[in-house]
Amino acid sequence: MTLRLTLAHDEWRAHQRALISEVPGTVPVAKGNGYGFGLDMLARESSELGTDTLAVGMAQEVAAVRTAGWQGDVVVLNPWRPGDVAATTLLDDPRVITMISRSEDLEAVSRSHPHARVQLEIETSMHRHGLPPNDLPAELGTLRFEGWSIHLPAKGSLHEATELARRALQCRKGALWLSHLSVADYGVLRTSVDAPTRMRIGTRLWLGAPSALATTADVLDIHRIRRGERLGYHQSRARRDGFIVVASGGTAHGIALGAPVPQRSLRQRAVTIAESVLEATGRTLSPFTIGGRKRPFAEPPHMHSSMLWVAGDEPGVEVGQDIPMTCRMTTTTFDEITLV
């Protein structure tokens, strides 16, 4: 009963090494569900890559990468806030770098932990966290300043990065820690500023070689259903003859949680409309493929398995078979990762 990620390990690692050689100063990012691989696996891979620093999302994730053997520095990307006990404890850890994004937090930390290692985050066009770029603090007391953090939107602009870097370095010399610049733009910036540069990469590093990844589910059961018969928790009636195919993978794995996706193209909007029509008829397209086609859910997925609907006289699949499943790697937890 397994939702499985099959990983071509050599190909995956070759991609990481190729990317890192193109992006000097790479800082691997291991956060959340570990991009589908788990934080422990990413911590071990990062140790193999030989980088000196690893970035995690939040204070609570530091222990996981340490337990997995990561010995280098750890940057916590989420900014420190008063009252965050886990983050405050880490201010005493000489191998942890804390992100500061508000002037009042800077004051609080320099009072309570005057020798903490800190990065200062600058507000970008993303407007998530950060100190206003026109009012950056120059005075840091005895804090160990590790550099400036610039977290750009998904397709970060070189112009914005350059302008923020200029303001930051005018205020105080230090390393620039960037996110979401293209490899080419990062190369331009790196050679045009008089400061060390670092590039935090998660998605492109871990998920940048999709051909190395295969995600599959086991078929656990198949049941013949006649038109008009009731089925599932909700006992809805089948409108046609067909089959229920029970596959591993449910809400516990993060399957079909329906997180919104950004919709830029007409095609994406059309897909959403098509899916809504399906939903209006009581069916939602599942991420599972049987016989070369994505199949609808027979009902909303359960904790560990999903009931799929295959109309017709043949289920097109057997119990025990693996079926392809597409998923968002940042929300899926696999039962097993198989290295091939």
Rounded to whole angstroms, the Cα distance separating 190 from 162 reads 10
CA distances from 224 to 234, 281, 290, 314 (A): 18, 21, 16, 9
Query: Residue 125, interface with ligand PLP (CB under 6 A)?
Result: no
Q: Which is nearer to ligand PLP, 77 or 298 (CB)?
A: 77
Half-sphere exposure of 250 (CA within 13 A, CB side): 18
Supply the minimum distance, in Å, between the C-beta of residue 77 and ligand PLP: 4
| Run of H or E residues at 163 | helix 158-171
Kindly tell me the sign of the dihedral angle through the C-alpha atoms of 269, 271, 274, 278: negative
Query: Residue 200, interface with ligand PLP (CB under 6 A)?
Result: yes
Query: For the chain, what is the total number of helices (H) and then of strands (E)?
Result: 9, 18
Residue from 4, 15, 102, 151 in contact with ligand PLP (CB under 6 A): 151
Supply the minimum distance, in Å, between the C-beta of residue 137 and ligand PLP: 20
Q: By beta-carbon distance, which residue lies closest to ligand PLP?
A: 202
- Please give the size of the binding site for ligand PLP, defined by CB under 6 A: 10
Query: Residue 203, interface with ligand PLP (CB under 6 A)?
Result: yes
Task: Render 308-330 in DSSP notation, one character per residue.
Answer: EEEESS--S--TT-EEEB---TT
Rounded to whole angstroms, the Cα distance separating 115 from 120 reads 15
**Span from 82-90, 187-195, 200-208, 320-328 in contact with ligand PLP (CB under 6 A):** 200-208
Supply the minimum distance, in Å, between the C-beta of residue 81 and ligand PLP: 15
What residues contact 132, with CB distance under 8 A and at least 6 apart?
A: 123
Q: Which is nearer to ligand PLP, 59 or 77 (CB)?
A: 77
Query: Residue 77, interface with ligand PLP (CB under 6 A)?
Result: yes
Structure tokens at 87: 């983050």
Rounded to whole angstroms, the Cα distance separating 246 from 219 reads 6
Of 107, 86, 176, 97, nearest to 144 by C-alpha is 97
**Span from 196-204, 243-251, 283-291, 307-315 in contact with ligand PLP (CB under 6 A):** 196-204
SS3 26: strand
Mark residues 7-46: x for contact with ligand PLP by CB under 6 A, - for none. ----------------------x-x---------------
Q: Which is nearer to ligand PLP, 205 or 238 (CB)?
A: 205
Residue from 25, 36, 38, 202 in contact with ligand PLP (CB under 6 A): 202
**Span from 87-95, 105-113, 198-206, 237-245 in contact with ligand PLP (CB under 6 A):** 198-206
Rounded to whole angstroms, the Cα distance separating 153 from 123 reads 11
Residue 246, beta-bridge partner list: 221, 307
Supply the minimum distance, in Å, between the C-beta of residue 18 and ligand PLP: 16
Rounded to whole angstroms, the Cα distance separating 129 from 48 reads 32
Residue from 43, 100, 201, 244 in contact with ligand PLP (CB under 6 A): 201
**Cα radius of gyration rounded to whole Å, the chain:** 24
Q: Which is nearer to ligand PLP, 23 or 219 (CB)?
A: 23
Query: Residue 215, interface with ligand PLP (CB under 6 A)?
Result: no
**Span from 159-167, 201-209, 297-305, 315-323 in contact with ligand PLP (CB under 6 A):** 201-209
**Span from 133-141, 182-190, 202-210, 303-311 in contact with ligand PLP (CB under 6 A):** 202-210
- Quick one: how far is CA 283 from the chain centroid? 28
Supply the minimum distance, in Å, between the C-beta of residue 106 and ligand PLP: 18
Kindly tell me the sign of the dihedral angle through the C-alpha atoms of 160, 162, 163, 168: positive
Binding positions for ligand PLP, rule: CB under 6 A? 29, 31, 77, 151, 179, 200-204
